[in-house]
Amino acid sequence: MTEIYIIRHAEAEGNLYRRIHGHYDSLITDKGARQITALQERFDPIPVEAVYSSDLNRAIRTAAAIYKPKNLPLIISKLLREIAMGSWEDLCWGEVEEKYPEQLYYYNTSPDKWEIDGGERFSDLKNRIVSAIFEIAKINDGKTVAVVTHGGAIRALLSYILNVPPGEISRVQYCDNTAVTLLTIENGIMSLKYMNDDSHLSDALSSFRKETWWKEEDARDSRNMRFVPMNLKSDGKTYLACYKDAWQEAHGTHAGFTNIYLVWAKSRSASDPHSVARAYLQNKPCGIIELAKESVTDDQSGHIAFLYLDPPYRGKGLAVQLIGYAVWYYRRLGRTKLRLKVSADNLKARSLYKKYGFFEVGTETGALGTIIIMEKDIAKQ
Tell me the CATH architecture of domain 2-215.
3-Layer(aba) Sandwich (3.40)
Asked if domains 2-215 and 225-377 share a fold, the reply is: no
- Of all residues in the chain, the percent with pLDDT exceeding 70 is 97
Rounded Cα distance between 281 and 131, Å, is 40
Rounded Cα distance between 339 and 329, Å, is 13
- pLDDT for 207 equals 85
pLDDT in tens, 133-155: 999 999 999 999 999 999 999 99
Question: Which positions ≥6 away from 5 have C-beta within 8 Å?
Answer: 43, 46, 48, 144, 145, 146, 147, 180, 181, 182
pLDDT in tens, 334-380: 999 999 999 999 999 999 999 999 999 999 988 788 999 999 999 98
Longest C-alpha distance within the chain, in Å?
A: 76
| Dihedral over Cα of 142, 148, 153, 159: its sign | positive
Q: Of the candidates 127, 128, 23, 129, which has an alpha carbon nearest to the alpha carbon of residue 85?
A: 23
pLDDT of 108 > 60? The answer is yes
C-beta of residue 328 within 8 angstroms of C-beta of residue 19:
yes
Class of domain 225-377: alpha beta
Q: How confident is the model at residue 211 (pLDDT cuts 50, 70, 90)?
A: confident
**What residues does each domain of the chain span?**
2-215, 225-377
C-beta of residue 52 within 8 angstroms of C-beta of residue 77:
yes
- pLDDT for 275 equals 98
- What does the pLDDT average to over 175-204? 97
pLDDT in tens, 33-92: 999 999 999 999 999 999 999 999 999 999 999 999 999 999 999 999 999 999 999 999
- What does the pLDDT average to over 93-122? 96
- pLDDT for 274 equals 98
CA dihedral 176, 178, 180, 181 (to 10 degrees): 70
Judging by beta carbons within 10 Å of its beta carbon (0-12, 13-18, 19+), is residue 26 exposed, middle or buried?
buried
pLDDT in tens, 213-235: 545 665 567 899 999 999 999 99
C-beta of residue 207 within 8 angstroms of C-beta of residue 175:
no
- Write down the pTM of the prediction: 0.93
- pLDDT for 212 equals 63
- pLDDT for 213 equals 57
